[in-house]
Structure 1
Amino acid sequence: FSSIRQGGYGGIDLYRCAVLENGKFGPAYNLGSRINTSGNEMFPFVSGDGKLYFASDGHAGLGGLDVFVATKDTSRNISIENLGYPINSSYDDFGLTFVTPDIGYFCSNKPGGKGNDDIYYVAFSPHSRKKVDYKLIVYTQKNNESGNDLPLRGVHVKMYDQLDTLVHEFNSKQDGKMVFSIETEKIYRFIATKAGFFTKRESFSTVGRSVPQFQLKDTVNTITFEINLDLDSIILEKEIVLENIYYDYNKSDIRTDASKELDKLVQILNDNPEISIELGSHTDSRGNNEYNLRLSQKRAEAAVNYLISKGIESERVVALGYGEEKHLVEDAKTEEEHQMNRRTEFKVTQIIKKKQ
């Protein structure tokens, strides 16, 4: 049912409740943000196959109230689809109900009727729905400092769905390109590995990216997405700046925003157990150099201790404070410039080759 009661998402929302054994209604529950919007959702109807039909002016549509259908997949993910023309128009279209699986009625104030809101008859042909096949092209590439990423062959890629089920596993070919069929309303996760490169983790979501029937041009359609898995070479002694590892002035405490970034370094070290690193800390130019050297050493040690607390072996990480010796911004004036100099970097100092 629909209601404008408090606690909704705005406007009129859809709710559900169970009929109890005594014939009375149980508590009402909002259908949630996948169904309800800041606009109005009304005229719900559940078909015999469990699909929820409703009208909304909050979801993307042709104008006014449009009729939508909500379905659940086997993982209980909800997808919303606009039924498109000829049911929907730029006017108000609503109240779709079915008397058989293929025959229904709905209301509309579109032009050509007998008055304001008219009742229309609709018959669905089992062959009338257009088919769509969703494809994902996966590119494995080598990050190039010139900006031109190069195809990378021999990358071992594992592809998981949102339930952590392995969906595909493959080694990339000469052109670094693979094509897969994917499902809508899913989140996929990729792990790409190759000797001599940092392990790459990436995700791709099809949630909310399905194409409505009225936007499909052909009887059979192919919708293609792309994702790039860009791998970085492991280069000894090359300094890599950890973004957003900043410190408050004159302090060595790990800030909350910094801990989130250090967690990424924990993941890198776990994904690449063959590497050892030096974690270097830098200060700004305020204060004397001897003091800044001590402060940067404390900051580096604080970061290393955080890594160790997350399970990284102590022998794989070394802390080194550089003080104000290596500034990114010389003659810094603003607080933002000083903060850029108060940074943390890491570099790979050792690569242990895996035993064959």
Structure 2
Amino acid sequence: MKKLYISILTLLLGTALLPAQTPLEKADWKYEDKNYVDAAAEYEKLVAKINAPEAKAQVMFRLGNCYYHLNDYAHAQQWFQQSVDANATNAELFVNYGDIYTYRGQYEQAIALYRKAENDTAWGKIARLRIQSAQSAPQRKEVFSVLLHMNEKALNSEMGDYGIGYISADKVVFTTSSSLFSGAKDKKTGQGFSRLVAASATENGDWKINSALPEAINSQYNNGSFTYDKVHKVGYFSQCNGYDGKSKSCVLLSTTYDPAVGTWGTPEVLPFCTDGANYAHPAISGDGKTLFFTSDRPGGVGGKDLYKVSRGAAANSWGMPANLGQEINTAANEGFPTIAGDSLFFFSSNGKAGLGGYDIFKAKYNNGNPSKPLPMDIPFNSAGDDFGLIYSAQSRFDGFYCSNRGGGIGNDDIYRFMLDPKYKTIGGYIREEKTGLPVANAKVTLMGTDGSTLTAVTDNTGRFSLSNVNPEAGYKILGSADGYFSASALVKALDLNANTDQSVLLNERNSAQVNLMKITKDEIKLDNIYYEYNKAELTETSKRELNKLVTLLKETPNINIVINSHSDEQGSDKYNLELSQRRAKSVVDFLIENGIEAGRLTSKGWGESNPLNKNATTEEQHAANRRTTFQVTNAQ
């Protein structure tokens, strides 16, 4: 009876019988619960009272991290720096502090901080990725032919505005944390709880906010990231904390909507969102059959992964979600997937090399699976977080995306863009021929049949992009780099016109990935070099092959070579030596006649002194000994 009395008393009095929390324990509890607003306030009261150096450095770090997660980078930097000055060794501190410098485009300072975390077990992989991004970011430039790029001020507020989706060409739904639609604040973000809001285009093409969606859709807590299935007239969105605010997770919901009538149905939770994991950022395919989303459900590749799930025949019936795999997902986080038609897949990631923060990536979407993704370039990506790119309902040349880049109105802003459909942007990779590894800082020159010349430099991944490409011209892409033979690839006008994508990823079609061969002092055999019997004159077949060497020498003008001619072991030593000398000279003469400077060329006949097969007995062995090679004489 006594035990029962104590148990009931404990339930009635709650934590009153438990030991009181210290102020630091209270602050830490709020921090672990991601209540960054209240945690920051508690740490601010405590930091001056703590004398132990290690404990003080930890509180400074956590205080800075609260502001970091609230996107208050000025205060975050203040406390991060004080934590560093107090000799903190927290790898998360160095990564997050480095992110602030990356956000500001101060890449050298960012790299110095990332270096301090690159060998950490938990944070090392992320730090090394951030270093790679920061090293390549200054080389990136604007590569899209943009007619219009603007902050869509009519849709943006002093808070966060994002998660936009088209219902029709002149109507969108987006997410806002504006105080106009939400009085209460989310203590995890310091902003108002997010609401779904409708907006429409005016006759002159401007946008205006209409109203928030009905309360049956907008809970009192966080709602966001809308996508619309025009085939089945169903909208999908995410909702966090539940309608009563007690849930700790986010789920996906569907609701019917008929644009002709303008009425919304009662939302239903999608059946696979009942396991307590978080589900967000829905994106429906053009045919309404596949839904993409982000989730931290068990069994993923990293923190938050991208998934797809197939729609069943009955209303609100779905299959089992499938992870999009390691080609798309990383050990970090991916989110905000979108689909343009049924062939282009966009998403954002902070686990792939980019310009900083979350970057937008693009992949071709064929046979139900995205191909290897490539980062979008400036202006779509910046040093900040960039996400949620969508094309309009009518074309692939205008649309919206979201970003917290500098110069905006609020936290996350919606940006509007319009591309020039006349011109294309082409991209590809420069790789080392033998290893397939990327060649960074390679010069790429695009020479058009219309007389145009465009240049670019590869980033640390070997990637290049060239804009303002006339789709009616043919092009030659030349790749060159120190220590490599230059090489080129041809791109036909038809290749550009046949591709409906604004950014033609030529390397995916194996037509413009340029492979460079390292320059060494080794002999390189020239295949199919033949001479008239017992003579030094080149055959016509040999001349066609030597034209390839002419091209190589013209494309790599900084090298000098020696032409070596070797004979077989048949005949006298003297005869073979003289014949090989004349044959080597005939190759040099041909190169000079075709525009190669004589000062870059020498010749040497070796006779039978360096056979590949000593004491050859078969014709195959004799043929292998008869060869013409070249060596670079000024190789480093």
TM-score (norm 1): 0.51
Letter in 1 for 2:513: N
Deviation at 1:186, TM superposition (A): 4.8
Say which of 513, 516, 536 aligns to 1:231.
Answer: 516
Distance in 2 between the 1:338 and 1:129 partners? 68
Counterpart of 1:204 (choices 480, 491, 497) is 491
**Which residues in structure 2 correspond to 1:132-143 (within 5 Å)?**
136-143=426-433
Change (3 A) 1:209 1:300: same
Other-structure match for 1:163: 450
8 Å CA contact retained: 2:456, 2:465? no
Distance in 2, matches of 1:202 and 1:221, equals 21
Q: Which position in structure 1 is the counterpart of 2:92? A: none
Q: Whose RCO is larger (CA < 8 A, sep 6+)?
A: 1
Equivalent residue runs for 1:146-295 within 5 Å: 148-166=435-453, 168-179=454-465, 186-205=473-492, 207=494, 224-226=505-507, 227-235=512-520, 237-295=521-579
Contact 1:198 1:232 in 2 (8 A): yes
Q: For residue 4 of structure 1, what is the aligned residue in structure 2?
A: none
Q: Check 1:174–1:224 CA distance in 2 against 1; reply closer, same or farther (3 A cut).
A: closer
> SS at 1:346's partner residue?
strand
| Cα pair distance change 1:310/1:223, threshold 3 Å | closer
After superposition, give the CA deviation of every residue in 1:89-137 in whole Å (9 maximum; x if it has no partner): xxxxxxxxxxxxxxxxxxxxxxxxxxxxxxxxxxxxxxx9987997744
Once the two structures are TM-superposed, the CA of residue 149 in structure 1 deviates from its matched residue by 1.3
Change (3 A) 1:295 1:129: farther
Say whether residues 1:310 and 2:310 are aligned partners: no
Show structure 2 runs of 5+ residues with no match.
Answer: 1-392, 398-420
Choose 1 or 2 for highest CA Rg.
Answer: 2
Residue 337 of structure 1 and its aligned partner are, at CA, apart by: 5.2
Deviation (angstroms), 1:152:
0.9
CA offset at residue 224 of structure 1?
4.2
Deviations 1:157-181 (A, max 9, x none): 1112223322x31110010113457
The Cα shift of 1:243 comes to: 1.8
SS at match of 1:245: coil
Contact 1:197 1:233 in 2 (8 A): yes
**Cα contact 1:247–1:342 (8 A) shared by 2:** no
Report the identity percentage: 30
Separation (CA, whole Å) in 2 of partners of 1:169 and 1:234 = 23
Cα distance in 1 between the residues matched to 2:555 and 2:465:
25
Amino acid at match of 1:169: T
Q: CA deviation at 1:241?
A: 1.1
CA positional deviation for 1:310: 2.8
What is the aligned-residue RMSD (CA, Å)? Answer: 3.4
Which structure dedicates a bigger proportion of its chain to strand?
1
* Corresponding residue number in structure 2 for 1:341: 625
Q: Where does structure 1 lack aligned partners over 5 or more consecutive residues?
A: 1-127
Change (3 A) 1:129 1:245: farther
Alignment-mate amino acid for residue 514 of structure 2: L
TM-score, scaled relative to structure 2: 0.30
Letter in 1 for 2:474: I
Q: Distance in 1 between matches of 2:502 and 2:593?
A: 51
Query: Contact between 2:480 and 2:556, CA under 8 Å: does it hold in 1?
Result: no
Amino acid at match of 1:158: T
Contact (CA 8 Å) 2:440, 2:458: kept in 1 or not? yes
Displacement of 1:273 after TM fit? 3.1
